[in-house]
Amino acid sequence: MNAVLLDIEGTTTPISFVHDVLFPYARARLRGFLETGLSVDASREIQDQLDKERAEDERHGERPPAGTLPYLEWLMDRDRKSPALKRLQGLIWEGGYRAGELRGQVFPDVPDALRRWRQAGLIVAIYSSGSELAQRRLFESTDRGDLTTWLNAFFDTRVGPKTAPESYRHIADALQIPTHDMLFLSDVTAELSAARIAGADVKLVVRPGNAAQPGVAAFERIENFETL
């Protein structure tokens, strides 16, 4: 095994931090950020992406609301892995981290595990539906210090959906390793199934507050990183 690939929510970081802190923080500031926080080019790019996503929703028989803000809130209500929404959330959170209003949270075993793996010569990378920017800000602002020192790479859904096997092949290619040399840790069995199909080794992470998952019997389970 040459690399450890980590999910964030429910794996390195409590679900409560994401759902009870980050999501409400972004939602409360979304209107103001749309009005004053974006450059003209960024605003146009995000709107174009939202138009494409809305059209895709409609093709699948859904009825998203009209207007940019209502549509973004509709996506948030459904916890959609929307690239446009994730980009906006990441930009809003970046402002919160820089202002000291947000600090990243990780489980107690995470910092020592990251350090241990890197010192053992392993590649350690993150793969999350949150934007790469949001990932970096979370790990650099924890109460255990800047953990990005121990992380080699960050991947978001620009490499592909987390439930698509090809996404894990793209990540392995980017890390310049065979897929079978990579261990993927996540709390979501659909993601683990996709990584396994791609050839990666996988383990199901069981943390306090995580949602029940289907098909757990097919995966080795761990409750912390201390045994890895």
Percent of the chain with pLDDT over 90: 94
Confidence of residue 158 (pLDDT cuts 50, 70, 90): very high
pTM of the model: 0.92
pLDDT of residue 227: 86
Domain spans in the chain, listed from the N-terminal domain onward:
3-15+104-222, 19-98
CATH number of 3-15+104-222: 3.40.50.1000
Q: Is 19-98 a domain of CATH 1.10.10? A: no
For the chain, the three-class secondary structure string (H helix, E strand, C coil) is CCEEEECCECCCECHHHHHHHHHHHHHHHHHHHHHHCCCHHHHHHHHHHHHHHHHHHHHCCCCCCCCHHHHHHHHHHCCCCCHHHHHHHHHHHHHHHHCCCCCCCCCCCHHHHHHHHHHCCCEEEEECCCCHHHHHHHHHCECCECHHHHCCEEECHHHCCCCCHHHHHHHHHHHCCCHHHEEEEECCHHHHHHHHHHCCEEEEECCCCCCCCCCHHHCCEECCCCCC
**pLDDT per position as a tens digit, 74-117:** 999 999 989 999 999 999 999 999 999 999 999 999 999 999 99
